[in-house]
Chain A
Amino acid sequence: MSHPPSEHPHHIDVKEFHPRARAAIADPKIRQNFRRAMDGLISKRKDAFQGMDLDALRDLGANIRLRALANLPDLLEQLETKLTENGIKVHWAIDGDEACRIVRNICVARNAKTVIKGKSMVSEEMELNHYLEERGIEALESDLGEYIVQLADETPSHIIMPAIHKNTGEISELMHNKTGTDRSDDVEYLTASARQQLREKFMNADVGVSGVNFAVAETGTLCLVENEGNGRMTTTVPPCHIAVTGIEKVVGNLEDVVPLLALLTRSATGQHITTYFNMISGPRKPDELDGPEEVHLVLVDNGRSSIYQDDQLLDTLRCIRCGACMNHCPVYTRVGGHTYGTTYPGPIGKILMPHLIGLDEGQHLPTASSLCGACGEVCPVKIPIPDLLVRLRQESVDGDKLNPAKVPGHGAKRSTLEAMVWKGWSWMHARPGAYRFGTAVATRLRKLQPGQLGSWTKYRTAPKLAAKTLHERMKERGQ
């Protein structure tokens, strides 16, 4: 994106991962908020899939996504044709800035001054609110979590539950300070207060901006999944609706959305289905009494067509943004969403963000994982997230082996010293004689073993070398 970093109110130096991680880990409130929330989501997801053939359903979900990706350019053209037939105007944006300009131009053409937004991670990626505000157009979030985060002048800490890092007391204080709502620990009261304020905004907004969960090429239909009804408000009340979405969100057939929806809501929040599944296939027709006069779709590339080039990295684009990977991630649970400093946190952020910001800026993302595999195990479309993390680690430290480089910032983390250490390690372990000699000497000298092993022994005792290696003992045994 072309803004210099200083212009961004939310600009965070992604590289400063460690200080943020340390701070989060040392903050019992953050730890408790995330732990409690993630524990709840894990158990709800488990319950929601009870009695279903989850593996077969995930296979179907994966194949639908892979099939859509295999036909991506054709499906995008088909989607454009169908949407146009249906009266929806389609726009294409190479990057976030272009997408922002498109949205702004639509607003300007309508003389629009206020925009109400439904939840959209792509708009976060574009930093749309900031862009519009700077140009005199008010952009207000209407999803309760996003609304809270916007009041706090923060960014979402979770892609499904943006304000998960805050507890009721903090939210009450925030709403009191920013909107005059009476302080209360009654969630219903706080919610009702937000409803009242946002209803006024819905009625007066000139444009509604939403995301898209699935865009169906066959029928030219934009599908939105939500519980609150703010998505329906956003796409129905203002006279103009602009949907923004990544180019990968297209699927071939209407039938495809059935299993994807079943997987998405169960994986995300453990719901069999959300309150609203909203399928939009056109603006208000002449004989209809409500709905927007104009509907636009902005198809945003922003790095996706680059990811698309590589057979392995392509799997990143299967994602349906359920957030299950972060809910189950032991790292995310400890550090929370803001530590990542990226639009998408957690495992999906670690495999997606390096493509958007580069492996230099995002250098800590691929390594901040124990490769425990919990993310891949729960991914509803079977993205092999741990394998992709390893691939990005490889891209980070590779000199020139992977030419042409597939990820921006390729080789950014390569250090001569580290590369030499691994060369030496490899040399010894590829030579059995050298290995046996080295390990036997090490065990002989075990009394001299240092008690401190860098950051390992900050938390643990050093592992103790055995008196004799297994190799030696087997030799003594005559094998």
Chain B
Amino acid sequence: MSSRDIILQRLRNRSGGDLVVPERDFSVLQRPASSVAERIDQFQSTIESVHGEVHRCTRDSWITQLADILSSRGASSLLIPAKHEVGRALRESQQDGLPELLIYNEPIDSWQSHLFNEVDASITSTRGGIAETGSLILWPTPDEPRLMSLVPPIHIAILEASELYTSFHEAMLAQNWASGMPTNALLVSGPSKTADIEQTLAYGVHGPKELIILVIE
């Protein structure tokens, strides 16, 4: 018999007999209704408490604000999505002060070293956010691959205020995740960090040192 069959047989023939299957009461996860403004405030204060940086923008102002953010950090390159509206808007903008715009349009294998060593910042869209935990929902796509939000030292995320959910539970149900998950889905709640050395927080241990969120209201 294979190990698989041995294990499953042991589990099926357990000496204690059948087990009770308890019900699950998810009502404890329900949250009172809140306004968009309340959710933005909660999102901002929560993610700022873990070193995330939030800028409130409009559809007209975000590129200008982005340019300021990047130049204040001396970023000389920005990785952008090729097809998503965010990338298109940046490529078409006449904004002064934007760094060199790079597009992730080749398999990682061909330019890994460049991504790891040369790219200063990246910008991605999000699938929404979670106010309660200060989280961004990211479902990487061919247009915005997984490493975009992980490797560059600065990750900038665009969050539409209208896509801000109260809780993870609400977001998962509203977007019907159980009907099909992508190869990779993420909640990102702040910059990469560690407290493994004497519980002292240090940022950017493996992933981005800075997470900057542009909330489009």
Contacts and interface: CB of A to CB of B under 8 A. Distances in A.
Direct contact of A and B (CB under 8 A): yes
Interface of A: 33, 36-37, 40, 53, 56-57, 59-60, 63-64, 66-67, 69-73, 76-77, 86, 92-94, 98, 142-145, 148, 161-164, 166-168, 171, 187-188, 190-192, 194-195, 198-199, 202-203, 218-221, 227-230, 232-233, 236-237, 247, 253-256, 258-259, 261-262, 269, 271-285, 287-291, 299, 301, 305-306, 308-311, 314, 404
B87 interface: no
A69 B18 CA distance: 11
Q: Which of A37, A220, A228, A299 has the most CB of B within 10 A?
A: A228
Contact of A92 (B7, B134, B146, B178): B7
B16 A283 contact: no
Interface residues of B, number: 79
A284 B183 contact: yes
B4 interface: yes
A276 B11 contact: no
A63 B198 contact: no
A279 B186 contact: yes
Contact of A281 (B2, B107, B183, B194): B183
Contacts of A289: 104-108, 142, 145
25 contacts: A37-B198, A64-B24, A70-B21, A71-B21, A161-B199, A168-B197, A195-B205, A219-B178, A221-B185, A230-B205, A232-B186, A247-B11, A254-B172, A254-B177, A272-B134, A273-B189, A275-B193, A275-B207, A276-B186, A276-B188, A279-B184, A289-B142, A305-B7, A308-B10, A308-B11
B112 A203 contact: yes
A291 B112 CA distance: 12
Contact of B150 (A59, A144, A236): A236
Given A145-B194, A289-B106, 6 more contacts: A219-B181, A253-B178, A255-B173, A258-B172, A273-B187, A279-B185
B46 interface: yes
A237 B147 contact: yes
Those 4 A-B pairs whose CB atoms lie nearest each other, nearest first: A229-B207, A145-B196, A229-B206, A70-B19
B61 interface: no
Contacts of A36: 199
Interface stretch (B25-33, B66-74, B119-127): B25-33
A53 B188 CA distance: 25
A233 B196 contact: no
A202 B108 CA distance: 13
B151 to A, nearest CB: 8
B3 interface: yes
Interface in B1-45: 2-4, 6-8, 10-12, 14-16, 18-26, 28-29
B88 interface: no
A277 B139 CA distance: 12
B6 A94 contact: yes
Contacts of B150: 229, 232-233, 236
Interface string B48-89: 001000000000000000000000000000000000000000
A467 B32 CA distance: 64
A98 B11 CA distance: 19
B189 A275 contact: yes
Interface in B124-152: 132-135, 140-142, 145-147, 150
A255 B183 CA distance: 18
Contacts, number: 264
A311 B106 CA distance: 54
A63 B147 contact: no
A171 B197 contact: yes
B184 A144 contact: no
Contact of A305 (B10, B50, B142, B200): B10
B133 to A, nearest CB: 4
B3 A94 contact: yes
Contacts of A275: 50, 188-193, 207
Nearest to A285: B183
A60 B205 CA distance: 34
A227 to B, nearest CB: 5
B91 interface: no
B16 A277 contact: no
Contacts of B8: 73, 76-77
Interface in B194-217: 194-200, 202-208
Contacts of B167: 258
From A142, A164, A275, residue with most partner B Cβ within 10 Å? A275
B206 A233 contact: yes
Contacts of A274: 189
Given A162-B196, A278-B184, A280-B183, A290 B145 contact: yes
Max count, chain A CB within 10 A of own CB: residue among B167, B182, B185, B198: B198
B193 A203 contact: no
A203 B28 contact: no
A310 B188 contact: no
Given A63-B23, A258-B168, A191 B107 contact: no
Contacts of A198: 206
Contact of B185 (A148, A281, A290): A281
Contacts of B132: 272
Nearest to B15: A309
Contact of A236 (B3, B105, B147): B147
Nearest to B147: A290
B125 to A, nearest CB: 16
Pick from B50, B184, B192 the residue with the most CB of A within 10 Å.
B184
B28 A259 contact: yes
Contacts of A77: 8
A143 B181 contact: no
A171 B105 CA distance: 41
A229 B190 CA distance: 11
Given A142-B206, A256-B24, A309 B196 contact: no
A327 to B, nearest CB: 12
Nearest to A171: B197
